[in-house]
Each structure stands twice: as C-alpha cells, then as structure tokens.
Structure 1
Amino acid sequence: MNNLKFVIKQFKEENFDFSLIILNGKFDTIYKHNDFINEYKISDFNNDGFQDIVLDYITNVPGIVDVLLFDLPNGKFQIIEELGNYASPIKIKNSECYYSYERAGCADYNWESDLFYLSDYKCVKVGNISGKGCGYEKRNGIFISKIVNNEEVEINWIKRDSGYYEDKWEFIENYWTKNHLKFTK
C-alpha cells in the first residue's frame, strides 16, 4: 500500500466486542469491525492501485461480503455501505460498475443480478437482470430492468422455456459488460 503498513487482527472468540481490528504503523486502531466474519482477504477490490480488505461471512446466501476500501487522504479504511445487498460482486473491466449474482429460489432456476456503482462509499443500483425458469411464473425468461426514480422499470424480456439456464453466467457477464453504460446515463 505505497509503503504504508497495517496490522490486521481477526478475533474468533465470542467474548470480544469486535471481530477484526486494523492498526496503522504506529499501532493506533484505525478500524474496528463488529460483525463476526468468517475470514478476510486482501485485494484491490476497486482497482485503484491500493489494497482493500474483503470480509467474508458465513450465511445461507453465498457470496455475501463487506469491503473496506483504503481511503488514501485519511490513511484509513472505509466500509462500502450496503454492499451486503449485492452477493458475489464483480467489477466490470475498464468501468466503474459492478454486478452481482444471487440465487432467487426454485433450486437456482430463478436468480437475480444487479448492476451498481460506488459513490462516496455507497452502492448505487442502476439495473437488474432477473432470470425466471421455475415454470410457475406467468412469464418465464430473462427480465432486464433499469432503475428509474428508485423503481425497477422493465426494458426488455427475453422469452425462455422453464428450466435451468446453463448459460446464465456467460449471459450476465456479457450483458453487463456490453450494456452497463446504458444504465448509468
């Protein structure tokens, strides 16, 4: 981190009021995390050249994480608010946008993917792709929505038969990579 040094200590004992602390090079506490985490990883989450800390939780929804972004001007770490609402976040290459993936029932025949960006350490949702393949829906297929005045507005529907969409991972990545700018304007 540009020769800045930090100490990260994770606590797994239940009698602590926090589960992770970060100390600066002078051993001053610069961050305390109160929610119990399973583990943490150090990576450059937002590709700004500084290492961030990804906090992983054990939940019934895979991929729920919090991220502590390194705030260079203050020499501290800042948590991204509401990132836990976006499971398995992935940054779109050469973009400020991210997308998520989350199962939505029916043995993963139904699923959701949200498009969002970060603004002042907060997530701003701008789009959604919803896959419906369970068979009990009025319409099966892939529903694409844009967020307008905080409401999802359907802009496209791709009809598909009920069933598991094996190409969903590729579809989500390709769609958001090619179309994310349409949602941020």
Structure 2
Amino acid sequence: MKYHFLLLLSSMLLFSCEHSKKKLITEKIKEKDTLIYSVSAKILDNTYRADYRSNMILYVITNNDTLIAQKEEGLSTVPLKFEDYNKDGMLDIRYGYNSNYFFETIMLFNAKTKQFTKIENIDNPEYAYSKKIKNTDFYFSYSPNGCGKNNWESYLFSIEDYKAVPKGYIEYKQCIDDVKGMYVFRIKKDDKILIEKIGLKEADNKELEKHWINYLKKIACP
C-alpha cells in the first residue's frame, strides 16, 4: 500500500513539473507574440534583423543573439528600415510612430562594438523626416506646423555623442498676412537669433536643403 502511494505521489510530481515546463515555454512564445514587421540587412558580414511584434516590442537580433528588446508603442508600418543615416558606410535602424505628429527613432551602428545606439533626443517631432546635408556634418528636418500643414518648420542640427544638437531654425508661415514669409534663425545656447526674413516667392523657388546650404556659413560659422 505504501509503495502504491509513493508511486502515485511521484507520478503527480512528475506531471506537475512537466506541466510547469510546458506553461513556461508557452508563456515565452506568447511573450514574443505575432510578428508584424520584419526587416533585415547584412552589415560587416553579419545579418541583422529588426522584428516588431504584436506585444509592441522591437527586437534587434543577430546570430541568434538579441541585441535590443524594447517597448515601442504605435510603431508605423512603413518606416521600419535599415539605412545609412549618417553616411558612414554602415547601415543604421530607423523607424517612425503614428501620432498627431510624426516622429522617429534612429539607432546608429557602431562598427567597433557592433551595437546599435539610439540618438537621444531625435524622437521629437521637430526632428522628423531628417536627412544629412551632403559633404557636411549637419542634418536638417521638416515638420508641418499648423494651418493645414501650410506652415512648417525645419531644424539644422549636428549629432554629438549620440545627441541631436540644434544649430539653426527655419519657420515658414503663409497663413497670417502680417507674418507671412520664411524666417531663418541661428540657435545659440537655446536662443533663436533672426538672421534673415525671406518672401514666400523666393522661399518657394528653392528646395529646403538648398536653403540650408545657402545659410550654412552664417549659422554654423558666424
């Protein structure tokens, strides 16, 4: 009788352990959830993959190692991609968010550490749609600024120690008669200093990047 009781007890314990293991495995699978978007790229002979899952976590994986696993609510469908953002020959990770305003996260690839590092304050609407100006160390952004997107603003900035540092600012207004025009500012210690006001006709004759190239010397090297 005692033997049968011990055998029954062992069977129950074994079943309980196996059930716990299965539950743990199931929970781990649920943790990652359904794959929504996935992009991959080859960098320095290694393949890197960025997966966004329905648990709202972005995973960056290489060689079965998870380099990044972070919560990202409201990730947009289109912008998740690898691109050479800072034009150093290495692919970086870029993705945006759905909101009243569009804003992005950019992670730069470090060739020495083989890791991705986020640009600290780039996920601000004022730095949206940013791109590097050719043959310079400066970037510019574009962000609608009210009036049915007829007004917009743009920041000129550099990236220092993985942080966006503003250098200049353009404000374009075409909704109120007494302030219509494009205003160009130099930024110094968080202060905006007006260096020129341009009429709308002249402002509309050039692309935004050409405007920044035109004013780069006055702003970056006053």
TM-score (normalizing by structure 2): 0.71
Match of 2:83 in 1: 43
Counterpart of 1:120 (choices 157, 161, 170) is 161
SS at match of 1:60: coil
Return the letter of the residue paired with 2:47.
Answer: K
Aligned pairs for 1:1-185 (under 5 A) are: 1-11=43-53, 13=54, 16=55, 18-25=56-63, 27-36=64-73, 37-39=75-77, 40-62=80-102, 64-85=103-124, 86-135=127-176, 138-160=178-200, 167=204, 170-185=206-221
Return the letter of the residue paired with 1:30.
Answer: L
Larger fraction in helix? 2
Query: What is the CA distance between 1:146 and its match in structure 2?
Result: 0.3
1:54-99 superposed Cα distances (whole Å, 9 cap, x missing partner): 112112224x211111012211100111112211102111111111
Q: Could you list the runs of 4 or more consecutive aligned residues of structure 1 that deviate by over 6 angstroms after TM superposition?
A: none
TM-score (normalizing by structure 1): 0.85
Query: What is the CA distance between 1:107 and its match in structure 2?
Result: 1.5
Q: 1:128·1:146 contact (CA, 8 Å) conserved in 2?
A: yes
Matched pairs, number: 174
Q: 1:97·1:180 contact (CA, 8 Å) conserved in 2?
A: no
Q: 2:132·2:138 contact (CA, 8 Å) conserved in 1?
A: yes
Return the letter of the residue paired with 2:59.
Answer: I
SS at match of 1:66: strand
Pick the structure with greater CA Rg: 2
Within 1, Cα distance between the matches of 2:207 and 2:90? 30
Larger RCO, structures 1/2 (Cα 8 Å, 6+ apart): 1
Query: What is the CA distance between 1:32 and its match in structure 2?
Result: 2.0
- Pairwise CA RMSD: 2.1
Query: What is the CA distance between 1:160 and its match in structure 2?
Result: 4.2
Within 2, Cα distance between the matches of 1:159 and 1:20? 44
Q: 2:182·2:203 contact (CA, 8 Å) conserved in 1?
A: no
Of the structure 1 ranges 32-41 and 70-79, higher mean CA displacement relative to structure 2 is found in: 32-41
Of all paired residues, the percent bearing the same amino acid is 29
